[in-house]
Amino acid sequence: MRKRLLTWFSENARDLPWRRDHSPYRVWISEIMCQQTQVATVLPYFERFLSTYPTIRDLANADENQLMRMWEGLGYYRRARSLHASAKKMAAEHEGEFPDSFEDVLALPGIGRYTAGAILSISRNEAFPILEGNTQRVFSRWIGLTTPPTEKIAQTRLWELSDKMLPRKKAGDRTNGPAGFNQAAMELGALICSPKAPKCDVCPVATMCHANQLGLQAEIPGKISKVQYESRTEIAVVISQAEKYLVRTIPEGVRFAGMIDFPRAGPPEAEDVIGMESWLAEHLGGDVTIGMRLKTIKHAVTRYRMTLHIHLADLAGPNAGDNSDEEHGPLPEPWRWASIDELADMPMSVTGRKIVRLLDRPQRSLFSEI
DNA sequence: AATCCGGGGTA
DNA sequence: TACCCAGGATT
């Protein structure tokens, strides 16, 4: 199994940017970006990220807003915040270098057993096993494990197998060492041993595969429980004055933490337009009157099916006017006014960015499709 | 063990 | 629509 797999990998491996130059820093960034994200999606983000932050210290010194802006569209934004925190930790505790020991790598935020093993094996050819979506599927089929890989007993067996299969050879040939094996197993899962319709006819290890021999490819890995989708309706409002728009930084500990967003709320805080006006009065302090609807956006993300109503609104009362105008008093934290140019550089969710595009191209978007 | 995270690609 | 993606952290 091992030799055939490694031979196949040496002849079929994709030419990925973190394989050509496999420094720990580059492999680390690639692994974080690839968490729950397909390789093809990651590629343009990876190149841009590495040119903006060529070293660990560059990342440690990065502006948080710019960093989040670089991540916009990749999702799971906590990954970017964990990257930043990790880089700062390396600058402070590891002289700006990627840590040496498995324990120190595992102690970094956003890095679990899989990612620590992947980084150290791929970058330094160290013999740590890995287990993720691809290898769960490859190994489960190989040994005919019908237990869903989410169950603890399956996890234990699969990690044991990943460790048992791993070549210990470190010196010399990376392709035949731990780096090669771990990547080969993942690559097989990505290119051949796919979730649906695996290409067993061209699989290098098909003759040794339990699932292939028994025709159980469709039953292995065992099915995990279905996703419970949830419909959700939210309201966002556009409040403008002097060609600036009212936005805020999302506080820590909630979705979109650290990103910029328009006033937005949904059930149970704001069930409808009236509820949204109450929400605005409470959070903003001024009298807000919600006006016409600009557009309704449907957005499917993770398990949510969101309908977002975007309304124009007017702000009156003590907080109207520029936030530097002391006669009117400043806007309460974390609210602020931002121009279109400023919004362009701020990190936003996908739906937040769609609102900006509505405002940026009013002649085409604002009054159509309403 | 389940849920959250709030993006995207594919059949 | 359903399912998956080089998962980790939290509860």
Please report the DSSP string for A76-129 in residue order: -THHHHHHHHHHHHHHHHSTTS--SSHHHHHTSTT--HHHHHHHHHHHH-----
CB atoms within 10 A of CB A90: 23
pLDDT of residue A369: 40
The protein footprint on chain B, as nucleotides within 7 A of a CB, is: 1-11
pLDDT of residue A285: 84
- How does pLDDT run across A90-132, given as a tens digit for each residue? 999 999 999 999 999 999 999 999 999 999 999 999 999 999 9
Q: What is the DSSP string of A193-248?
A: S-SSS--GGG-TTGGG-HHHHHT-TTT-SPPPPPP--EEEEEEEEEEEETTEEEEE
Asked whether residue A148's C-beta has any atom of DNA/RNA strand B within 7 A, the reply is no
Which residues of chain A (225-284) touch nucleic strand B at CB < 7 A? 225, 232, 254-257
Question: Are the beta carbons of A295 and A369 closer than 8 angstroms?
Answer: yes
Picking from A27, A33, A189, the residue whose alpha carbon sits closest to that of residue A118 is: A27
Round and report the angstrom distance from CA (A228) to C1' (C5): 18
pLDDT of residue A173: 84
- Comma-separated ranges of CATH 1.10.340.30 domains in chain A: 2-214
CATH no., domain A230-366: 3.90.79.10
Residue A328: pLDDT band (50, 70, 90) is very low
Lowest average pLDDT, out of A24-38, A69-83, A319-333, goes to: A319-333
pLDDT of residue A171: 66
Coil, strand or helix: which one is A279?
helix
Q: Is the peptide bond before A195 cis (omega within 30 degrees of 0)?
A: no
Say which of A31, A72, A132, A277 is annotated catalytic: A31
Asked whether residue A223's C-beta has any atom of DNA/RNA strand C within 7 A, the reply is yes
Coil, strand or helix: which one is A36?
coil
Give percent of chain A with pLDDT exceeding 90.
Answer: 84
Asked whether residue A300's C-beta has any atom of DNA/RNA strand C within 7 A, the reply is yes
Q: Which residue has the tokens 């149970």?
A: A268
Q: What is the DSSP string of A326-357?
A: TTT-PPPTTEEEE-HHHHHTS---HHHHHHHH
Q: What is the DSSP string of A251-270?
A: PTTSTTTT-EE-SEE-TTT-
What is the fold of A2-214? Endonuclease III; domain 1 (1.10.340)
Residues across chain A: 370
Strands A304-316 and A230-241: parallel
pLDDT of residue A111: 98
A220, pLDDT greater than 90: yes
Which residues of chain A (16-35) touch nucleic strand C at CB < 7 A? 16, 18-19, 30-31, 34-35
Round and report the angstrom distance from CA (A318) to C1' (C7): 47
Lowest average pLDDT, out of A10-19, A280-289, A311-320, goes to: A311-320
Picking from A204, A203, A275, A200, the residue whose alpha carbon sits closest to that of residue A237 is: A275
Round and report the angstrom distance from CA (A252) to C1' (C10): 15
Asked whether residue A40's C-beta has any atom of DNA/RNA strand B within 7 A, the reply is yes
For residue A370, the one-letter residue type is: I
Residue partners of A67: CB distance under 8 A and separation at least 6: A53, A59, A80, A83, A84, A347
Which residues of chain A (193-212) touch nucleic strand C at CB < 7 A? 195
Round and report the angstrom distance from CA (A129) to C1' (C6): 13
Residue A320: pLDDT band (50, 70, 90) is low
Q: Which nucleotide is nearest to A33 (CA to C1')?
A: C6
Is A369 a residue of the active site? no
**Mean pLDDT score of chain A:** 92
- How does pLDDT run across A197-206, given as a tens digit for each residue? 999 999 999 9
- Comma-separated ranges of CATH 3.90.79.10 domains in chain A: 230-366
Straight-line distance from the first to the last Cα atom of chain A, in angstroms, rounded to the nearest whole number: 59
CB atoms within 10 A of CB A150: 12
Picking from A122, A246, A239, A127, the residue whose alpha carbon sits closest to that of residue A186 is: A122
Nearest residue by alpha-carbon distance to C1' of C1 = A229
- How does pLDDT run across A126-179, given as a tens digit for each residue? 999 999 999 999 999 999 999 999 999 999 999 999 999 999 987 668 889 999
Residue partners of A54: CB distance under 8 A and separation at least 6: none
- How does pLDDT run across A351-369, given as a tens digit for each residue? 999 999 999 875 444 444 4
Round and report the angstrom distance from CA (A333) to C1' (C5): 38
Asked whether residue A89's C-beta has any atom of DNA/RNA strand C within 7 A, the reply is no
Which residues of chain A (303-322) touch nucleic strand B at CB < 7 A? 303-304, 306
